[in-house]
């Protein structure tokens, strides 16, 4: 499962970056969404995948059980935070791209050279 998710994260990073390298605004946003999700999968995977174990300490016990394994609840919590943040940021980016499209009249990133001169 680790291997599968690691490959998935890699593919998502690669395709996200590929989309960002394209010239279209819309593909830029798709690329940002993809790499954002890829980072979440990295957190999820590297936090350790445990099958069928709860993120709870058994009743009456004072400490974590060693066996059966214990699911760490922190990575999902981190991912939730990251998802909320990326929701806000992607919303902002979509509005920005729309305004830029209206102001510049093209969705070609190569046309945006006036600030580089």
Interface ranges with another protein (CB under 8 A):
20, 25, 28, 32, 35-36, 38-40, 42-48, 72, 74-75, 78, 81-82, 85, 88-89, 92-93, 96-97, 99-100, 103-104, 109, 112, 114-116
Measured from the CB of residue 68, what is the shortest distance to another protein in angstroms? 18
Choose between 61 and 116: whose C-beta lies nearer to another protein: 116
Measured from the CB of residue 52, what is the shortest distance to another protein in angstroms? 20
Q: Are 57 and 64 in contact (CB under 8 A)?
A: yes
Least Cα distance to 38 among 89, 81, 97, 82 occurs for 82
Choose between 54 and 74: whose C-beta lies nearer to another protein: 74
Choose between 59 and 103: whose C-beta lies nearer to another protein: 103
Q: Are 34 and 42 in contact (CB under 8 A)?
A: no
Measured from the CB of residue 28, what is the shortest distance to another protein in angstroms? 6
Conformation bin of residue 105: beta by default, left when phi > 0, alpha when psi is -120 to 50? left
Residue 87, CB-side half-sphere exposure with 13 Å CA sphere: 6
> What pairs with residue 24 in β-bridges?
108
Measured from the CB of residue 40, what is the shortest distance to another protein in angstroms? 8
In whole angstroms, give the CA distance from residue 104 to residue 63: 60
Choose between 12 and 60: whose C-beta lies nearer to another protein: 12
């Amino acid at each position: 499962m680790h291997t599968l998710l690691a490959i998935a994260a890699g593919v998502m990073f690669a395709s996200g970056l590929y989309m960002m390298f394209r010239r279209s605004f819309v593909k830029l946003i798709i690329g940002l969404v993809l790499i954002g999700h890829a980072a979440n999968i990295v957190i999820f995977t590297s936090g350790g995948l445990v099958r069928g174990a709860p993120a709870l300490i058994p009743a009456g016990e004072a400490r974590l059980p060693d066996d059966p394994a214990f699911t760490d609840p922190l990575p999902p919590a981190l991912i939730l935070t990251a998802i909320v943040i990326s929701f806000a940021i992607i919303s902002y980016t979509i509005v920005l791209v729309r305004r830029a499209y209206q102001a510049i009249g093209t969705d070609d990133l190569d046309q945006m050279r006036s600030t580089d001169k």
